[in-house]
Amino acid sequence: MRSYVAETGARLHLGFYRLCRGVSGLVLGGVGLAVDLEGVATRVVFEPREGGIEVTAPEACLSDAEEAATAASRRYGVTGRLVVERCIPRHVGLGSTTQLVLAIHAVVARAAGVEDLEAVVGSAGRGFYSGVGAGVFLRGGLVIDAGLRGGGRASRPMAWAWPPSSWGLVVVVPSVEPRRLMAEDALEDEAMRGVLAGLPPGPGACAEPYSALLDLLLPGAALPSFDMFVAGVEALEAAAARLFGGAQGGAMCCSEAEAAAAALRGVGARGVGQSSWGPSVYGFFSSRGAAARAAAVLRRRLGGGFRVLAGAVRRRGATLGVA
């Protein structure tokens, strides 16, 4: 009996570029990056069988895996045994739930003979406020989504760019208890509604993040120009910090994230920012060697309360195969 396998990396959420109510009516517009980090990945294996759905997974992601496997089985009419061999840490800002859900839907759909991965991803029920997770799963790289229209809750990826994999990055994950805001969808919804209600009218209010995206971030990824890229990241991060500061109690989620950001800057990281609601904090380096050296220094300086991960841009989407 054949088994179907999906493996994908993590994602960093770099911020939003539609921080106004412009002429299109679209708001937010997520920007994010697919990344390969040492020891951080999602890998699922599905073996079709008769008799229902059986799920084996690490305790941290078992409930999400069971829910996704049940939904996928109903949608595609296939039963079997699903094994989650690895999953990304939850509630730390690395895109764990979306990557897990999409991987599960992908393998069950493949077992049912469905080859249209974009259709599978689009129907999996993710992308509430940002299409970045779907974008990195499909193609990797730097992802820009179209934003939300009106009261809808479905944002789609619309553009990709591929920064060089020779650039390095370091992600620091503080060991903190997930805040209720991060862990509960209802509280996130409430916070996001408050943010959306405060968006200023008129396209002029979007000038700064538009410029960060179009003048710096995208050209920096495409040319490539490391200086332009990190300047764009920093501008988007600053705009997001101003907008979300009220909801999260400051420019970052917590004092541990602030300490991680300061430590990253102290070892030469650029484009330092918080991924999503945190607490993960990232910083970029012009080479993977520089990132590895910085990670080694940070592990000594920060101690056991922080997980330090070196990595690079992931220039491909999820890997799907048959075992």
Domain coordinates in residue numbering, the chain: 4-312
Amino acid 138: pLDDT: 97
Q: Could you tell me if 18 and 147 are in contact, meaning their C-beta atoms sit under 8 angstroms apart?
A: yes
What is the pTM for the complete model shown? Answer: 0.94
Stretch 265-287: mean pLDDT, rounded? 97
**Residue located via tokens 């990190």:** 230
Stretch 174-203: mean pLDDT, rounded? 73
- Residues 36-82 pLDDT 10s: 999 999 999 999 999 999 999 999 999 999 999 999 999 999 999 99
Cα separation, 135 vs 34, in Å, equals: 9
According to DSSP, the β-strands at 306-313 and 168-174 are: antiparallel
Asked whether residue 135 carries a pLDDT value surpassing 90, the answer given is yes
Amino acid 212: pLDDT: 96
Cα separation, 40 vs 316, in Å, equals: 16
Stretch 275-294: mean pLDDT, rounded? 96
> 208-244 burial, b if ≥16 CB within 10 A, otherwise e?
bbbebbeebbbbbbeeeebebbbbbbbbbbbbbbebb
* pLDDT band at 23; cut points 50, 70, 90: confident
Amino acid 192: pLDDT: 80
Q: What tokens appear for 126 in the block?
A: 């993710």
Q: Does the domain spanning 4-312 belong to CATH 3.30.230.10?
A: yes
